[in-house]
């Protein structure tokens, strides 16, 4: 049973959702088959108790059909029916959480059934339901468009055009405005997505009328429409990356409007601000400081926790930025506070790797390798990055013999790996190549350091900043002026 769809579905629900599903299935309006309830309660008990035993199909069958020979086809049909009810329950949950959807359906139903005595009360109820809607993303304006359209139908101004009170209720402007807000906001949102993807892979995609829509979105009538104003600023940070005023305006809009967006969309908006700073991080340390500030905003608002969990990649990126700014105490506290928000399957790797990263940057090398040795290498990117830090740690400890052996095994590992793209693989192979050259220089090679530095700058390599730092250290230690200073100090 543990491998069945119905078990996986129930296992994905939390305690509160299981309670709600129980009430849903117990309602004869939704479910009239008590046999399905017996299957459900057996599986629910197994899940709630966290039992390691697999629920027995035969025992469940016997509780439903005592004395009847087990029929696998019929049992699977019951499980399929239970899953259908579960899916309907999820849809019902979405409906219950969307007051605008309820308001719209209420107006539609009253209009279709032509119940005049409910016309006024349904409009009042719809107005109250719209006030309960906290989200103000593009979908809000679409539902408001639908509601205004149904109000127009309900008041039937074409039929009652001679009645003055009916004419006063004509709401065509509201219908059209809400449709425009929805359309323009969605166009801008997906155009921003296209611009983002085009930084990774060229997409031959055209967005019709996008130039005209951008010009319209700049008009003052749209300044107070949250999704239009935010996506317009995100667009401007893409197109004019050197004009930082657009970024500060975006940040102000995030402060003002972020709480009006559902969590998944709020996360995308925060990530747009994060990615802007990442793209500019090498230009000025101010972008790095701002990047960590935006991450902290995402933690404060909890938008970095879709479904209550933090991505292990986001977890790593936050730590990487903190140590880059030498905020070690904050980074260690971050791990203690937020490691519980990681999926258990990633938690140990994330904690061991990121603690090792902190100790490496604190130059506490004796603490680094034991932590990295605990990282499971089947999780490819944490595993590869652990190997990269191991390279830097051996080098900075002066363990060149151990490093030489490790570099060779790392190169062989990368060469054999079939899952990593060649582009990504090359960034790690470049780390291996350049580190070997640095080791040779330490062992007496007369390699031209300036030439090596230029080679590193031109290539994409994991640990590029570290490699350049090591080259600069060697340049400094071998420069004539440095040698003169050392000679003078010895003579004194």
Query: What integer is the mean pLDDT of 430-434?
Result: 96
Q: What backbone phi and psi angles, to 5 degrees, belong to 339?
A: -65, -25
Task: Decide: 177 and 256 in contact? Cβ < 8 Å.
Answer: no
Round the CA-based radius of gyration of the chain to a whole number and report it. 31
Question: Residue 485 pLDDT > 50, yes or no?
Answer: no
Question: Residue 103 pLDDT > 90, yes or no?
Answer: no
Give 462-472 pLDDT, tens digit per residue. Answer: 999 899 999 99
Query: What integer is the mean pLDDT of 29-45?
Result: 93
Question: Residue 381 pLDDT > 90, yes or no?
Answer: no
pTM to 2 decimal places: 0.77
Q: Provide the pLDDT confidence category of residue 484 given band limits of 50, 70 and 90.
A: very low
Task: Decide: 16 and 89 in contact? Cβ < 8 Å.
Answer: no
**Residue 136, SS3?**
coil
Report pLDDT for 445: 75
Distance (Å, whole) CA 117 – CA 103: 17
Report pLDDT for 479: 56
Residue identified by tokens 């299981």 is 18
Task: Decide: 325 and 292 in contact? Cβ < 8 Å.
Answer: yes
304, two tokens: 């970095």
Distance (Å, whole) CA 110 – CA 396: 75
The overall average pLDDT reported for the chain is 88
Give 113-130 pLDDT, tens digit per residue. Answer: 888 888 888 888 888 888
Give 278-320 pLDDT, tens digit per residue. Answer: 999 888 899 999 999 999 999 999 999 988 899 999 999 999 9
**Residue 373, SS3?**
coil
Task: Decide: 57 and 23 in contact? Cβ < 8 Å.
Answer: no
Task: Decide: 75 and 56 in contact? Cβ < 8 Å.
Answer: no
Residue identified by tokens 């399957």 is 345
Task: Decide: 419 and 380 in contact? Cβ < 8 Å.
Answer: yes
């Amino acid at each position: 049973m543990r491998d069945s769809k119905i078990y996986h579905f129930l296992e994905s629900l939390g305690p509160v959702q299981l309670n709600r599903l129980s009430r849903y299935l117990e309602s004869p309006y939704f479910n009239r088959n008590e046999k399905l309830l017996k299957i459900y309660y057996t599986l629910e008990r197994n899940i709630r108790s966290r039992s390691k035993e697999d629920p027995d199909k035969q025992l469940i069958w016997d509780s439903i059909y005592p004395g009847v020979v087990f029929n696998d086809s019929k049992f699977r049909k019951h499980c399929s029916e239970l899953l259908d009810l579960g899916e309907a329950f999820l849809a019902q949950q979405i409906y219950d959480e969307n007051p605008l959807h309820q308001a719209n359906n209420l107006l539609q139903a009253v209009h279709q059934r032509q119940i005049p005595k409910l016309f006024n009360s349904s409009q009042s109820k719809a107005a109250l339901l719209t006030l309960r809607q906290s989200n103000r993303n593009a979908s809000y304006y679409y539902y408001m468009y639908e509601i205004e359209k149904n109000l127009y139908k309900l008041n039937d101004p074409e039929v009652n055009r001679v009645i003055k009170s009916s004419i006063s209720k004509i709401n065509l402007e509201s219908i059209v405005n809400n449709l425009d807000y929805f359309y323009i906001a969605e166009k801008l949102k997906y155009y921003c997505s296209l611009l983002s993807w085009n930084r990774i892979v060229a997409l031959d995609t055209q967005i019709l009328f996008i130039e005209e829509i951008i010009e319209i979105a700049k008009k003052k009538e749209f300044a107070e429409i949250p999704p239009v104003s935010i996506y317009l600023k995100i667009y401007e940070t893409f197109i004019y990356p050197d004009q930082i005023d657009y970024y500060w305006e975006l940040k102000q809009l995030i402060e003002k409007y972020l709480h009006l967006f559902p969590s998944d969309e709020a996360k995308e908006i925060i990530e747009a601000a994060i990615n802007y700073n990442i793209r500019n991080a090498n230009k000025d340390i101010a972008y790095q400081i701002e990047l960590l500030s935006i991450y902290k905003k995402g933690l404060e608002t909890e938008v970095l926790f879709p479904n209550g969990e933090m991505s292990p990649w986001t977890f790593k990126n936050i730590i990487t930025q903190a140590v880059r700014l030498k905020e070690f105490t904050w980074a260690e506290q971050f791990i203690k506070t937020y490691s519980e928000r990681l999926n258990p399957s990633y938690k140990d790797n994330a904690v061991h790797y990121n603690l090792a990263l902190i100790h490496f940057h604190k130059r506490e090398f004796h603490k680094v390798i034991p932590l990295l040795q605990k990282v499971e290498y089947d999780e490819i990117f944490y595993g590869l990055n652990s190997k990269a830090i191991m390279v830097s740690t051996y080098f900075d400890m002066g363990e060149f013999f151990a490093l030489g052996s490790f570099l060779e095994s790392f190169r062989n590992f990368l060469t054999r790996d079939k899952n990593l793209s060649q582009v990504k693989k090359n960034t790690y192979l470049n780390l291996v190549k350049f580190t070997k050259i640095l080791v040779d220089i330490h062992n007496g090679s007369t390699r031209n350091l300036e030439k090596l530095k230029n080679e590193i700058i031109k290539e994409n390599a994991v640990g590029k900043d570290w490699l350049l730092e090591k080259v600069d250290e060697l340049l400094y230690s071998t420069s004539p002026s440095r040698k003169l200073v050392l000679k003078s100090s010895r003579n004194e």
